[in-house]
Amino acid sequence: MSRNILLMTGDGIGPEIVAEASKVLDQVNSRFSLGLVMSEAKLGGQAYDEYGAPYPEATRDKARQADAILLGAVGGPKWDAVERHLRPEQGLLDIRSDLQLFANLRPAILYPQLADASSLKPELVAGLDILIVRELTGGIYFGEPRGIRILEDGQRQGYNTDVYTESEIRRIAEIGFELARKRGGRICSVDKANVLEVTLLWREVVTEVSTNYPDVELSHLYVDNAAMQLVARPKQFDVILTGNLFGDILSDEAAMLTGSIGMLPSASLNKERRGMYEPCHGSAPDITGQGIANPLATILSLSMMLRYSLGEQKAADSIDAAVGRVLDTGLRTQDIFTPGTTKASTSEMGEAVLKEL
Ligand code: IPM
Ligand code: MG
């Protein structure tokens, strides 16, 4: 049985990091006889340049056929002046929504080899292993009405709507509880139930869902407190479950606890567990084309793809282990470089992983 993998480099450093990941994918594909068939499509700014839309039909058709998608990153200053609905970021929101990728998993794991790269004291972050489960296709990102309107007194007013139905909350909560059950058995739901009704409902529904998971310990935090706790005592967290906007913010914060956002993969899944996999970092226009970007987040995204969408645990484990061994050798891209380690370019890092495989 062959399975279709769609590769989308996107913009900025996207092509550089996906090039390395794609070599790794080819190697595990043949070594483990996975029967994966790769194809390519464009998303974001590169799609806008070629087709005039950030998520063009040609990409949509391929994306809907794919068993899994690997994405580099989208966006960059080149498209700053483009109308909002044609911006690269809109392509990302459109594909998430089109494929109903409602479950966004963002692990924040501190590799012991990189403890010195964190801005927090090593004892606060040593052994850190948090999984953020972010709702990705609802909430204020997609709620209607939205826009900028002119009021009667002539001034402009911007408005968005934060909405969640109970079924949207229930399905992401179930994913969170399932994952917590397989990890540390604890889940912290983050909301702003003291102010926002939409998140009061969030809290109620999450609490209802929890009755089906008596083995998982549920706690709740308001988002402001959660942001504080993440830097004060990050190791108290196992799974963090939250909505689209809070998840966007907290996942960047959690990523930085680990020293480098250049190490963190992510998965965005639909209800059949088909998904799109991408590094958590963005397109990094400031370092584009210099060959210094860290390809490890993208390579680790591949491992998540093999694990979650393709059920190929062995191949996934082999990638994780190879990355661990490369870090053991002291090889570092500039984002995770500390004195005493060896600086590597994007392709040197990719080659090193290939060799360790
Ligand atoms: C992310 C990004 C996106 C988001 C942007 C690029 C639309 O910040 O994946 O976290 O806000 O979801
Ligand atoms: Mg973000």
At 181-206, the pLDDT tens digits run 999 999 999 999 999 999 999 999 99
CA atoms of 300 and 255, how far apart (whole Å): 14
* Residue 88 to residue 256: CA distance in whole angstroms: 24
Sort strands 147-150 and 156-159 into parallel, antiparallel or unpaired. Answer: antiparallel
Kindly state if the Cβ of 89 falls inside 6 Å of ligand 1.
Answer: yes
Within a domain: 281: no
Q: Is 141 a catalytic residue?
A: yes
| Closest to 39 in 3D by CA, of 90, 3, 75, 93 | 3
- Cβ contacts of 124 within 8 Å, gap of 6 or more: 233, 234, 235
Quick check: is 12 in a domain? Answer: no
Within a domain: residue 56?
no
**How far apart (Å, rounded) are the C-alpha atoms in residues 276 and 45?**
18
How far apart are alpha carbons 262 and 240 in whole angstroms?
21
Give the single-character DSSP code of 79.
G
162 in catalytic set: no
Ligand 1: residue whose CA is nearest its atom 7: 89
**302 residue type, one letter:** L
Query: Could you tell me if residue 339 is inside a domain?
Result: no
Question: What pLDDT digit, counting tens, does each position of 2-50 carry?
Answer: 899 999 999 999 999 999 999 999 999 999 999 999 999 999 999 999 9
**Phi first, then psi: what are they for 76, rounded to 5°?**
160, 165
CA distance 32 to 330: 28
CATH no. for residue 254?
3.40.718.10
Nearest-atom index, ligand 1, CA of 248 = 10
Residue 249 placed within a domain: yes
Q: Which residues contact 227 (CB under 8 A, 6 or more apart)?
A: 249, 250, 253
Residue at 25 is within a domain: no
N- to C-terminal Cα distance for the chain? 24
What is residue 260's predicted lDDT score, i.e. its pLDDT?
80
Q: Range of 126's domain? A: 103-269
Is the peptide bond preceding residue 145 cis, with omega within 30 degrees of 0? yes
**pLDDT at 259 (0 to 100):** 79
Asked, for residue 35, whether it belongs to a domain, the answer is: no
pLDDT (0 to 100) of residue 65: 96
Give the mutation target among 85, 89, 97 for probing the ligand 1 site: most ligand atoms within 8 A of CB: 89
Ligand 1 site-directed mutation target among 93, 94, 160, 248, most atoms within 8 Å of CB: 248
Structure confidence at residue 249 (pLDDT): 96
Whether 253 lines ligand 1, by a CB cut-off of 6 Å, is no
Q: With contact defined as beta carbons under 8 Å apart, do 59 and 99 qualify? A: no
**Does a structural domain hold residue 205?**
yes
Per-residue pLDDT of the chain (357 residues; tens, 9 = 90+): 789 999 999 999 999 999 999 999 999 999 999 999 999 999 999 999 999 999 999 999 999 999 999 999 999 999 999 999 999 999 999 999 999 999 999 999 998 888 888 889 989 999 999 999 999 999 999 999 999 999 999 999 999 999 999 999 999 999 999 999 999 999 999 999 999 999 999 999 999 999 999 999 999 999 999 999 999 999 999 999 999 999 999 999 998 898 788 899 999 999 999 999 999 989 999 999 999 999 999 999 999 999 999 999 999 999 999 999 999 999 999 999 989 999 999 999 999 999 999
Binding site membership of 248 for ligand 1 (Cβ less than 6 Å): yes
Name the token pair of 39.
Answer: 């194809």
> Closest by alpha carbon to 282, among 16, 73, 20?
73
Residue keyed to tokens 């109970």: 166
In total, how many domains does the chain have?
1
Among residues 55, 67, 162, 192, the one annotated as catalytic is 192
CA distance 175 to 189: 12
Helix intervals (H) in the chain: 14-31, 45-51, 57-65, 88-98, 122-125, 166-182, 197-210, 223-232, 244-257, 296-308, 313-328, 346-356
Cα 215–Cα 245–Cα 308 angle in degrees, nearest 5? 50
Task: Please tell me if the CB atom of residue 166 comes closer than 6 angstroms to any atom of ligand 1.
Answer: no
